[in-house]
Every structure is written in C-alpha cells, then in structure tokens.
Amino acid sequence: MKKIISILIVALMLMVSPPWTVMAQAQPPVTVYVDGLPLIMDVLPIIENGRTLVPFRAIAEAMNITVSWDSQSRTVNATDGIAAVRLQIDSRTAYINNTAVSLEAPPRIANHRTLIPLRFFSEAFDCQVAWDGSLYRANITTPLKDMTVIGFYALGDSQSSSWTDLFGQSYPQTGVGNTDIVNELALGWYSIDRQGNLLDKSRTGWQRPDGWEAVLEGAEKYGLPGEMVVHVTDGDGTISALLNNPAAMSQAAREIAAEASQYGGVNLDFEGLGFNDSGDVLKQVQQRFTSFVELLEQELQAGGSGLTLTLHAPNSAYPGYDYQALGQIADRIIIMAYDYGPKPEPVTQVTQAVEMALASVPANKLILGISAHSESAASIGAKVGIAKRYRLNGVALWRLGLIDDGMWQVLRGRSC
C-alpha cells in the first residue's frame, strides 16, 4: 500500500509541475569551439564550481600548445615557448612562469582522463574565452597569428571593386582600407593560349585592366608585393593542348618569365586537370603538368622570381596535380579548398583537404584558399582557424571585392 501511495504522489507532482521544471534538471552537454572549430574530446567536459574542465591534451593540441604529463607527481606541464603553465591534480594552486595562481576549480581525473580548467588554461596563453550559457558552449579564440594573407585582385564591377575593397576609396584614390590585413596581392590579369602566347586579354575575363599601373603604385605605397596570376581553365582543352606541345610549353615559360620582371613573382593557376581521368591517363596528366612547372621554375629562377601554384584541393573533382612533386618545385601552394557544393564550405572537407596536402607538402609551403563567395562573417573565421591549427603559411582570399565588412572584421581579429 505504501508503495502505491508513493507512486501516486510522484505522478501527482509530475502532473502539477510545469514541464520546464522537469526538463531544467537535465543539463545539456558542454561543447567547446577553438577558432570556430569544434574541439573533439573523448571525455565530456564537466562543470565544477562554475568552471568548465576539459581534457588537457585535446585543448592543448587545438591551441598548438606543447604539453607533458608527469604520472609520479600527477602534474600537467604546458608551454607555447613563451609562457609555461603547471597544474597538479586536485591542487587549487597553479603556476604561470613559476608565479602561483589560485584556481576556483582544480584539475581532476575523470573517466581515466585528466581534466583542467578551460578558462584558466586558455587565458594563460592569451586566448579569449566567451561562454554561451544558452548553448552551454565555450568559444575560444587563440592569439593573433602572424600569417601571410594574400588577396586575389581581379576584375570587378561597381558593386564588387577590388580597388575599393583593398584601399577603401574609389579609384584612383588610395587609403589604408584593408591593407592592414592583406599583405600580398595575386594580380589576376593574365591567361595563355594553346600555342603558349601570354595574354592580358582573354575569354575567361581574366585580363589586365586599364590603369593597372596605378594598382602597382598603390600596392607599393602600402608595402604590398604582388605576383602576376596566369589563369587558364581546361574546359575547352587549352591546357591539355599546351601540355602536349613541348614548343608551346617552352614559349609559355619564356613569356611568363619575361613578364614576371615587373612583379614579385608568378602565381600559376591552371584549373580543371584530371577530371574523369584515372590510371595511366591520370598519371600522364600529372606528369605533364609537373614538367611544365619544372620548366617554368627554371626560367623564373634565372630572373630571380618566385613561383606560387594555385591548385585544386586533393579531395576535389580534379586530381590532375601531383602535390608531392609540385611541392618540391614551387615556393608555395595555394589549396583551393572550396566549390564542394554546400555553402559555407564544409569544415570537414576543408580540413580533409589540408590534411591530405600536408601528407606531401610541408606546412610552411601551404596556403589555404578561401572563397569569400561561399562564406559569411559567421563561417570565415573557422576557415582561418583551420590554417592556424595546422600551422599553415597563411590564407588566400578569393577575391577582393567580395569580402563584406563583417568578414573583414573577423579577419582583422583572427589573422595578422
């Protein structure tokens, strides 16, 4: 009888209590984002005394912090080369560069993992931490990183002018504008034909604009070096014809190298190779493009000019690029990690592209291409975050004229 009465009392309480009273008892899981990217953890964070504790290796690796674990003293040691942090399990005293700091929540061991206070650890390394109580989400922004930021300068219209976006003024006036963020230009003014003739007017729309000299003068005024971009697509077989003609390849390399004397280097953007190719045919396509890049690099080296390659991502529909071979020849490679379909570009696919490229090319040679057309102020920070997390050389923005004020604000806070 007592058991029945107890059950009836509980049922009555559920009936008269508002539904949100019951739901409020269940706390949602805590999530953590670092530079806009979700932190992957094998143990869920916990909240103790109003402080969030997270697995120390997961958070340290995402922030590029070197950590070690001393099992004898149960101590975590971490450093970024400037600051050194020491925390001990169950101790409310931590140390930053040997200076004692009191903790409101000490490190704990839970589910065989060492959990450390997220805010203390992040702020010890100059990160910004924001807590979204409605989502139970911690957002961490790592310190500004000195990275290369390349802006593609191509043709635009009155609504998407590369000039206005860069200098913050209408042509031909100049101002600081966004030159404090962009520190190099990729000048999309050239193409090439099947015979290897360099073109400054082409059917693709990549052409050198009237008044191009003013662009170079304005860039020099604000200390922005620029590379000439040679852009060709293989939709009509132009690149394939060129790469199957040794005389045309030699002429193209000579003409590009001669024009490069006006610029800081060359950015070669040959797009569309390898589509629907496989096996020996694909290997031949890759080898022919690599041969042309070798030929061009030899011509450029004689004139003291550098070479950047803008390539489709390794996980794109265009596999005609041997990243390993090309990485040994070129000074830098811009990974076009976009045009996957969804917008904004999926973080998982962009990350995969970077990881695949890193399997063949050192991080200091890789630059992550970001398509502003596919991103927003809310999403572009995560793409910069990928470049930071994998310690890439920098990012390349396609293109000036398509980046809105919100994006610039995010870039100003996330890059250099």
Q: What is the dihedral of CA 92, 96, 98, 103, to 10 degrees?
A: -10
| Number of Cβ atoms within 10 Å of the Cβ of 246 | 13
8 A C-beta contact, residue 133 and residue 184: no
Number of alpha carbons in the 13 Å side-chain half-sphere of residue 359 = 9
148-414 shares the fold of 31-141: no
Cα 24 to Cα 10, 28, 46, 138, 227: the distances in Å are 17, 9, 17, 20, 58
Q: How is the chain split into domains, by residue range?
A: 31-141, 148-414
pLDDT of residue 171: 93
pLDDT of residue 3: 52
8 A C-beta contact, residue 364 and residue 395: no
| Number of Cβ atoms within 10 Å of the Cβ of 242 | 23
Query: What are the φ/ψ torsions at residue 195 (nearest 5 degrees)?
Result: -85, 0
Residue 55: name the closest of 66, 77, 70, 39 by CA. Answer: 39
CATH superfamily label, 148-414: Glycosidases (3.20.20.80)
pLDDT of residue 361: 98
Task: Report the SS3 class of residue 208.
Answer: coil
8 A C-beta contact, residue 356 and residue 348: no
Number of alpha helices (DSSP H) and beta strands (DSSP E) in the chain: 13, 22
Collect the ranges in the chain with pLDDT lower than 50: 1-2, 5, 7-24, 416
8 A C-beta contact, residue 227 and residue 266: yes
pLDDT of residue 301: 95
Sequence-ordered list of residues with C-beta below 8 angstroms from that of 171, at least 6 positions apart, any chain: 161, 163, 164, 211, 214
pLDDT of residue 414: 65
| CATH code assigned to 31-141 | 3.30.457.10
pLDDT of residue 197: 97
